[in-house]
Amino acid sequence: MKNYKIAVAGTGYVGLSLSVLLAQHNQVMAVDIVQAKVDMINNHKSPIQDDYIEKYTGRRKTHDEREKTEPDDPEAA
């Protein structure tokens, strides 16, 4: 199976769920304009209440994480 690099815009229910699903076999970069959400995800905490996502983000503490989150730079678009 080929490993893709994927960007997901937004870390709400849809974006974060999609990011977690895709990160199981791909390298995913989730982007959000809300710095608090970015900080939570990068600290292995879910900004939404979902058992599966909380379980997944809690165990992704390895050095070679497949899911990263970045703040969105409005000027980059």
Establish if 43 belongs to a structural domain: yes
Statement: residue 63 has pLDDT above 50: no
Is residue 36 domain-resident? Answer: yes
Q: Per the structure, how many domains does the chain have?
A: 1
Q: Based on the number of CB atoms within 10 Å of its own CB, is 43 exposed (0-12), middle (13-18) or buried (19 or more)? A: exposed
pLDDT of residue 61: 52
User: Is there a domain that residue 15 lies in?
Assistant: yes
Q: Can you give the pLDDT at residue 41?
A: 87
Q: Give pTM, 2 decimals.
A: 0.68
Report pLDDT for 45.
84
Convert the pLDDT of each residue in 16-60 to its tens digit.
999 999 998 999 999 999 999 999 888 888 888 888 787 777 765
| Structural domain of 19 | 5-70
> Is 47 a domain residue?
yes
